[in-house]
């Protein structure tokens, strides 16, 4: 799958963007604040309907404008699709193949996207929510019954938590337990199956990039040796005190270690960037192997914290996935590209994007 045409308007300082990316490698270069990252942001909007830089859409819409628009044509083997999104401060309109859709998950299935930014270390350094999000991205794309069970679980969880906060009788609270356990069981099974397939791929990429292989631990969100239904019953009084459900897959955690030590305690910043790149490359390769679906990979400021040899090693692995890749740089000379490698260069200046390979 690749983007064959991308149009964006009024995404921050971008105006009238109309480009035809290369199906493999696309280098986007320009000075800081020129609009390079905004171009990646436009693609991210088209995949998730959200920015990766802010939760406030008014900060993404160009100053004194009412809305932003992004449109793309995709080629997925013999199949072509069109995606479009228009976002104002009050309304989001999504169109897929000229039909209006309500669910952002439809966009995400059409345009699976992996993003690596200079803030990538937060995946290891921040709380478990970030790592659950990483895990759920992969399971969502590979296990097609996962999303419905995830939605059911969170809907039931909200109902149970509301009953706890409202101090309803025990019978009203425990009435939600069976549905919660049923959905939690499927979620946990899907996650564990996914991780068993992902780990050897991750270890291979990690070995190539940082010459170390990680150990991976998955903590399911309640004691391993106990049934969730029993745990929920025994923790009812504590749940009442806290006003929320303490156990379940919403409290799951991924733990990465090297020689028994948490990754965030032993990796340098450069190694952290490479290891998280290995994590995301593993997801891309696993998805392609399991479903035949290719991702789009975006790396904002690839050169940051990496020497020339590490940049080349990462680029080689990126191209080896056969995914479409977008990389931003302050200048194109920061990356050694084989002249025989098909690619395009796009120069960004004051929100204008120019194809330098045209």
Are residues 316 and 223 part of one domain? no
Q: In this predicted structure, what is the pLDDT of residue 276?
A: 95
Question: Distance between CA 348 and CA 332 in Å, rounded?
Answer: 12
Are residues 324 and 219 part of one domain? no
First and final CA of the chain: distance in angstroms? 23
Q: In this predicted structure, what is the pLDDT of residue 221?
A: 97
CA 300 to chain centre: 14
Digit-by-digit pLDDT tens for the chain (358 residues) are 899 999 999 999 998 999 999 999 999 999 999 999 999 999 999 999 999 999 999 999 999 899 999 999 999 888 899 999 999 989 999 999 989 998 899 999 999 999 999 888 899 998 999 999 999 999 999 998 899 999 999 999 999 999 999 999 999 999 999 999 999 999 999 999 999 999 999 999 999 999 999 999 999 999 999 999 999 999 999 999 999 999 999 999 999 999 999 999 999 999 999 999 999 999 999 999 999 999 999 999 999 889 999 999 999 999 999 999 999 999 998 999 988 889 999 999 999 999 986 4
Please compute, for residue 126, the number of CA atoms within 13 A of its CA located in the half-sphere on the CB side.
11
Are residues 49 and 3 part of one domain? yes
User: Which residue segment(s) compose the domain that 154 sits in?
Assistant: 119-292
Q: In this predicted structure, what is the pLDDT of residue 298?
A: 97
Final residue before a domain boundary, out of 237, 272, 292: 292
The CATH number of whichever domain residue 301 belongs to comes to 3.40.50.300
Distances (CA, A) of 164 to 155, 176, 278, 294: 14, 11, 41, 43
Final residue before a domain boundary, out of 258, 292, 326: 292
Are residues 271 and 125 part of one domain? yes
Are residues 141 and 253 part of one domain? yes
Final residue before a domain boundary, out of 241, 267, 292: 292
Are residues 222 and 150 part of one domain? yes
Are residues 62 and 154 part of one domain? no
CB 255 within 8 A of CB 217: yes
Are residues 288 and 317 part of one domain? no
Domain count, the chain: 2
Of 349, 340, 350, 334, whose CA–CA distance to 27 is shortest? 334
Cα-based torsion angle of the residue sequence 108, 112, 116, 122 in order, rounded to the nearest 10 degrees = 50
Are residues 301 and 288 part of one domain? no
The CATH number of whichever domain residue 199 belongs to comes to 1.20.1050.90
Are residues 174 and 134 part of one domain? yes
Are residues 174 and 132 part of one domain? yes
Q: Which residues pair with 340 in a beta bridge?
A: none
Structure tokens at 54: 């802010």
Of 327, 317, 315, 322, whose CA–CA distance to 294 is shortest? 322
Q: Is the dihedral of CA 181, 154, 191, 74 positive or negative?
A: positive
Q: In this predicted structure, what is the pLDDT of residue 358?
A: 46
Are residues 166 and 152 part of one domain? yes
């Amino acid at each position: 799958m690749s983007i064959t045409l991308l149009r964006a308007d009024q995404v921050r300082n971008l105006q009238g963007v109309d480009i035809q990316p290369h199906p493999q490698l696309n280098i986007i270069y320009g000075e800081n604040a020129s609009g390079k990252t905004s171009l990646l942001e436009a693609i991210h909007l088209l995949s998730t309907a959200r920015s990766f830089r802010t939760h406030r859409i008014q900060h993404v819409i160009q100053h004194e404008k009412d809305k932003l628009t992004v449109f793309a044509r995709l080629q997925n083997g013999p199949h072509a699709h069109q995606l479009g999104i228009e976002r104002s401060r009050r309304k989001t309109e999504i169109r897929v193949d000229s039909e209006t859709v309500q669910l952002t998950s439809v966009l995400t299935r059409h345009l699976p996207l992996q993003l690596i930014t200079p803030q990538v270390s937060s995946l290891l350094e921040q709380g478990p929510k970030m790592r659950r999000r990483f895990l759920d991205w992969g399971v969502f794309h590979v296990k097609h019954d996962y999303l419905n069970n995830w939605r059911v679980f969170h809907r039931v969880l909200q109902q149970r938590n509301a009953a706890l906060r409202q101090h309803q009788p025990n019978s009203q609270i425990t009435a939600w337990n069976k549905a919660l356990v049923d959905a939690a069981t499927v979620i946990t099974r899907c996650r564990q199956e996914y991780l068993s397939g992902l780990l050897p791929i991750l270890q291979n990429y990690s070995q190539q990039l940082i010459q170390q292989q990680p150990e991976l631990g998955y903590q399911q969100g309640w004691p391993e040796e106990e049934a969730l239904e029993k745990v929920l019953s025994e923790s009812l009084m504590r749940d009442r005190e806290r006003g929320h459900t303490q156990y379940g897959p919403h409290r799951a955690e991924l733990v990465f270690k090297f020689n028994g030590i948490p990754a965030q305690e032993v990796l340098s910043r450069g190694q952290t960037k490479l290891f998280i790149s290995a994590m995301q490359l593993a997801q891309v390769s696993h998805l392609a192997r399991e479903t035949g679906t290719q991702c789009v990979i975006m790396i904002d400021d690839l050169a940051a914290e990496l020497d020339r040899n590490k940049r080349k090693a990462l680029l080689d692995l990126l191209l080896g996935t056969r995914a479409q890749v977008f990389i931003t740089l302050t200048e194109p000379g920061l990356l050694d590209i084989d002249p025989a490698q098909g690619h395009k260069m796009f120069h960004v200046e004051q929100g204008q994007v120019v194809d330098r390979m045209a």
